[in-house]
Amino acid sequence: MNKLLKSSQTSARSAGWEFLRDGGEPAFLISATIQFAGHLAGHVARSINSAKSIPRSLPTGSAWILRPMAGRATQIDGLRAFAMLGVACVHWLPRDLRGPFPFELGLFYFLVLTGYLITGALLRDRDRGEASGQPWKGAAMKQFQLRRGLRILAPYYAAVAFAMLMGAHDIRTALPWYLFQGSNIHMALTGWPDFTAHFWSLAAQHQFYVLWPFVIWWLPKRWLPGVMIAFVAIAPISRTFSPMLKPWFMMPDLLPSFACDYLGLGGLLALAVHRGLAFDHPGLRRATWLSFFGYAILYGFNEAGRTIPGLQVIQQTLLSIACCGVIAAASKGFQDWRGVILDHPAIQHLGRISYSLYLFHNLSPLLAGKILPWLWWNPWFEHGLGFAIRISVFALLAWLLGWLCWRFIEVPMQGMKARLGNAS
């Protein structure tokens, strides 16, 4: 998985990507990790089971149904801003400038947050539908996919069109993969493309949007925790067999099954919160810190070239659990200096437009090459002040493109989505 984690442009002049290699086997952590996994599984089971006494069906207008995720958690937007900055660093800075810090954490935070938000919305839709006493799933599916098209697909296809206009090679030669949300499979087969590599995670999310309503709405409620845990397990199992896929895939880590723990654990958090788990539950806090500690150990060994066979496959699963804890803490709200930073107007602005920023941030260097070609061919911009100017231009163009997309596509589409919700 760390070949995916460490993918980045190898220099400011190139949009190529580099990968870290595995190796080593410090075995002393195996026993401790097994104990940790059992401890963590116990926390998850207790959190889900503690909700059994909570009513599973309430009137449509009940405040309980909406309480866990009602309103906008502004600090979640603040975290989006920092996640986006991390992703931009991965794509804009060469490896030697980034050092060992995993700036790509922001990307995986986005995936976990997607699982959390979508699952929460689907659970509330199910509550309302079942409380109505009428057949509801067909109409709800139509509404869900229509809202998804307005909120997510319209900006997405605007970015695809812009990439085509700018001459992004891979989109021009493999357009159907991008149009039909299969770019992650395409990249797994062919490798990282220049300037459009970030579309892989969007494809994984779109595939999740298609599948997940059937899981949340059609399965019996008592099955949901077990099914979600099984869904999460698909990812580490896939990583276990990743070497066997190498004859067919250049980068099997981009296949949909490898993202199941990010999305599924976000969904599991949403289910637990929906059933009454408090955001500040002590067990959740302990699981967060234990998971982050385990992730940091595995990541550190991998950075040192000493991966741990049998345990490295759960590195990203541990990170996903830690991300769940961060989401819960931000939903509850930080009351100290962290809250002040996350609620700062500039950070809030970047968080609100983070989806459009993500769509266009990796295309901004392509635009810069069209309008300011000397940023690329003049060696002065490879180092020092010149390089800082180049990155500043990338950032300014990314913000401009992201703001335009947000203002003239996202905001109008959100208005239409709200009107559709009121009409239903």
Spell out the domain ranges in the chain: 2-346
Query: Whole-angstrom distance between the N-terminal and C-terminal Cα of the chain?
Result: 43
Buried b (16+ CB within 10 A) or exposed e, 180-210: ebbbbbbbbbebbbbbbbbbbbbbbbbbbbe
Residue 226 CB coordination number (10 Å): 11
Give pLDDT tens digits for 139-189.
999 999 888 888 899 999 999 999 999 999 999 999 999 999 999 999 999
Query: Token digits for 104?
Result: 């790509």
pLDDT for 148: 86
Return the amino acid letter for 109: Y
Q: What is the mean pLDDT of the chain?
A: 85
Q: What band does 47 get if pLDDT is binned at 50, 70 and 90?
A: very low
Residue 58 has pLDDT above 70, yes or no: no
Among residues 190, 191, 183, the alpha carbon closest in space to that of 160 is found at 183
When pLDDT is averaged across residues 93-108 and rounded to a whole number, the result is 92
When pLDDT is averaged across residues 245-267 and rounded to a whole number, the result is 97
pLDDT for 414: 84
Residue 66 has pLDDT above 70, yes or no: no
Residue 241 has pLDDT above 60, yes or no: yes
Distance CA 10, CA 272 (A): 41
pLDDT for 201: 97
Query: How are the residues of the chain apportioned to helix, strand and coil, as percentages rounded to the nearest 5?
Result: 75, 0, 25
Residue 10 has pLDDT above 50, yes or no: no
For residues 100 and 58, which has the higher predicted lDDT (pLDDT)?
100
pLDDT for 424: 55
Query: Token digits for 65?
Result: 């149904």
Q: What band does 420 get if pLDDT is binned at 50, 70 and 90?
A: low
